[in-house]
Structure 1
Amino acid sequence: MNDIPPLPPDTLVLLTGGTGLVGSHVAERLRADGVAVRAICRSPQDAGFLTDLGCEVVSGDLSDAESLASAAAGVTHAVHCAAKVGDWGPVEQYRSVNVGGTEALLRALAEQWGENPDPVLRRLVHVSSLGVYEARDHHGTDESEPPNVKGIDGYTLTKAESELLVLDGPNGIPLVPATAVRPGFVYGVRDRTVLPKLLAKLKSGGFAFLGDGEQLLNNVAAANVADAVVAALTAPGAVGKAYNLTDGRLVTRREFIRVICEAADLPVPTRSVPLPVAKAFAATLEASYRLMGKDHAPLLSSARVKFLGLNLDFCIDRAKEELGYTAEALFHEVMPAAVEWAQRNEPNGAPADGA
C-alpha cells in the first residue's frame, strides 16, 4: 500500500454535485478531516446538509462559465461529482451536461491554475462510472480494458466521453492534473434516486429477478467512494489514471434484494424471468419507445437488464495498491441504514425527488 500524503492545510476543494449521493459523502469525509470545501449548487437553498457541515455553498451551474470561474477562484483541488443520470432520453441532453459541463469546469480550473499546475498541489478528481465498460458479463475486468465509446444509453456513452476528456485534455486547454474514479452501483444514506424507486417496485409486488439472481452486483458504498476520492486528491502517480471502485465483497442480486426487503419489512420476491427473454423484451420495448418518441424509459431497458441480470465483477487491485483503498464500509451494515433513510424521507410514501 502506498503512503498517501495528507492534503495541505491551506487546501480549498471545489465540489460539484454536492447535493447528490456521492458528493454529499465526499463533503462529509473532507469536512471530517477539517478540509475547506466550496460547493457549487444550482439551488443553494436546497443545500442545507452541506451548510450544516460547514461547507461554503455558492450559486452556480456547469452551463454558466462565469459562475464556474467565480467558484474556482482560489481553489487548490476539485472533485467533480455532478452529472445527468438516467437510462433514457436524447444523448445530446446527457452530452450537454456530462461532457459540455465537464469541459467548462476544466476551462475554469485551467484558467485558475495556469499553464503548468503542480500535480501535488493542484488536482481534479473526476467521478466517472463502471458504466464506461461494455455492457456484458464481467469477471475481474481491470483498467487495462479501455472505455466503450458506444454506450448503451446517453448516460454510459457520455460518462465514457467525459472521462476521456478529463484524462486526455480538451483541445486548446492546458491539461489539468486529473484522476478518474469509476464506482459501480453506489448505495447509502441520502440516495434519492435508485433506492426509493426500487422500494416502490418491491412494495407493489412488481419486482422479478432476471435469470437466477446469482450474478454479482458491482455494489460500492458511497462512504467507500468518498475514501477513494480523498486519497486520489494527493496519491502519488495517480494523475492520468482511472480506478475501478467496488466494495471488497460483492453481493448477488438475491442477496441484494433480500437485505433490502428485510430492512424494509417486505416479503422477498420469488418471481424470475429468464435472462434471454428479458434481453429480447428490452430490445423490443426500446425500439418501439424510440419509434414513438417516448420521453420516459420503458418497463425494461438494456440498462435495467445490465443492473439486474449481468455479472458485474471488476478488479479493484489498482485502487488498493495505489490509493490505499480498503472498502471498509460493508453492505450488510450500510444498506439497512440507507433503507431507513429512504423510508423516512419519502413524502407520503412516494419516491423522493432526485437532487
Structure 2
Amino acid sequence: MRNLVTGASGFLGSHLVEGLLAAGEDVTALVRRSSDRSHLDRLGVDVVEADLLDRGALVKRVAGFDRVFHCAAMVKDWGTWSEFRAANVTSVQNLLEASAAAGVGLFVHVSSTDVYGHPDRVVDESAPLRRRGFLYGDTKIEAEELLWQFIDRHDLPTVVVRPASLYGPRSKTFVDDALKLLREGTPMIPANRSAGLTEVSNAVDAILLLASDKRSVGRAFNITDDSPVSWQTYFERLAEIAGLPRPRFVPIPRRAAYTAAWAIEAAYRGLRLTSSPPLTRLAVDILTTEQGFSSERLRSEFGYRPRIDFEEGMRRLREELRGRPSPDSPTR
C-alpha cells in the first residue's frame, strides 16, 4: 500500500513515517522546500516537495497513493489569523480536493483535542466543538467543519484523529520549548490537573490501527494515554532527566494568570511584535484546565491500549536528550 505523509519533517509526521516503515509500508514524505529533511534522509524514505497552498501541484503529488496522512499544521500559541488559516484550513481544503480528484483510498486528518475549547472536564467525541478565540484551536475547528461538509459531497473515505498533548523525542512544543523555560529558570504556574499526555509512538500506533480498519471511516477519535500525570509532574521529571534545577512554581490564581496573559497579548499586538509572548491565554488554559480527554471509543471498539507508559516515555526522552549536543556547546 502506498502512503503519503504531509508534515513528514515535523514531530508527529516524522514518527508516523517511522511507524509506517516499521510496518513494511511504502512511504513517501511530502515536505516544503524549506523543511529540514535530514532525519528523513537518514531513514532513506522517498521525499517530494510541495506547497500545500498550491492546489494544482498537489493533484500531481497525491496521484497514485492509496492513503494520505495529513499531519502538516501550524501548531503554535501565537501568530496571525492569515498564517493560521493558510496552514490549518486552506491547506486542508486543497489536499481534500486533490485527494478526491486522485481517487485516494483513505484520507487521515490529524486534528486536535483543542477543538473542544478546553472545557475543563473529561469529554469524549460527542462533545461540541467550541471556539475560544485561540487561532490554533479555532482554525482546527474550521478545518474539521470544512472536512465533514466535503466528505458529505464527495466519495473520499476519511478518518479524523484528535491527539491530546503529544510529547516524546523531537518534540518542540512540550520538550524543546519547555526545556528553554526550565534552563532560564522561568517561574511556572502550578498545574495539577491531568495534562492529557500522549507519547508520540502511542499516537502513531493508534493512527495506524484506525487507518487499517474500515469501521473508522467517517468518524473522529480522541487519542490519549489516559494518564493522570499533571503538567507539574511532567515539568519536574523533564528537568530531572535533563539535569536541570527543579522548576519553580509560583502560586497564582488562574483568573489572574489569564488576565495577565490577555494584557501581554494586547501589548504585543499593539506593538506589532511577531515573537511569541512570554505568556498567552492558550498556555494558561492548557496548564490550568483538565486535559484528560476520553479515548474510550478507541479502546472499546478497536481494542487500543497504549504500549508506552509515562515512565517508559520519559526514559526514551532521556535517551534522546543524552544524544543531543549541549546547548552551551560552541557551534561551527
TM-score if structure 2 supplies the norm length?
A: 0.91
User: Distance in 1 between the 2:156 and 2:82 partners?
Assistant: 25
User: Which residue is 1:243 aligned to?
Assistant: 221
1:291 to partner: Cα distance: 2.9
1:277-296 matches, within 5 Å, as: 277-296=256-275
C-alpha displacement of 1:164: 2.1
Gaps of 5+ in 1: 1-10, 351-355
Query: Which position in structure 2 is the counterpart of 1:5?
Result: none
SS where residue 99 of structure 1 aligns? helix
CA–CA separation in structure 1 for the residues paired with 2:31 and 2:222:
27
Matches for 1:134-283 after TM superposition, within 5 Å:
134-138=117-121, 140-148=122-130, 150-169=131-150, 174-210=154-190, 213-274=191-252, 275-283=254-262
**SS of aligned partner of 2:222:** strand
Counterparts of residues 23-38 of structure 1 (less than 5 Å)? 23-38=13-28
What is the RMSD of the two structures over their aligned residues, measured on CA atoms?
2.2
Hey, what's the Cα distance between the residues in 2 that align with 1:241 and 1:143? 9
Matched residues, percent identical?
Answer: 32
Amino acid of the structure 2 residue aligned with 1:207: P
Deviations 1:73-99 (A, max 9, x none): 110111000001211121121111111
Question: 1: CA distance between counterparts of 2:141 and 2:50?
Answer: 25
Instruction: Give the aligned partner of residue 74 of structure 1.
Output: 64
Q: Is the 8 A contact 1:134 1:151 kept in 2?
A: yes
Alpha carbons of structure 1 residues 349 and 108: separation in structure 2 relative to 1, 3 Å: farther
What stretches of structure 2 of length at least 5 have no aligned partner?
none
- Which of 290, 295, 308 pairs up with 1:316? 295
Give, in angstroms, the shift of residue 343 of structure 1: 6.2
Structure 1 runs (4+) greater than 6 angstroms displaced:
none
Deviation at 1:284, TM superposition (A): 1.9
2:147, 2:325 → 1: CA distance? 36
Aligned to 1:328: 307
Contact 1:215 1:311 in 2 (8 A): yes
Q: Is the 8 A contact 2:196 2:227 kept in 1?
A: no
Alpha-carbon separation, structure 2, partners of 1:90 and 1:170: 28
Letter in 2 for 1:198: A
Deviations 1:62-116 (A, max 9, x none): 0122331222111011100000121112112111111111111111111111xxx
- Residues 136-158 of structure 1: CA deviation (Å, up to 9, x unaligned): 312x211111212x233211111
What SS does structure 1 have at the residue aligned with 2:264? helix
Contact 1:195–1:342 under 8 Å retained in 2: no
- Determine if contact 1:192/1:342 at 8 Å carries over to the other structure: no
Q: Within 5 A, what are the aligned runs for 1:117-132?
A: 122-132=105-115
More moved, 185-194 vs 310-319: 185-194
Alignment CA distance shift 1:195-1:232 (3 Å): same
Match of 1:64 in 2: 54
Report the Cα distance in structure 2 between the residues aligned to 1:135 and 1:287, rounded to whole angstroms: 22
Q: Please give the TM-score of this superposition, normalised by the length of structure 1.
A: 0.86
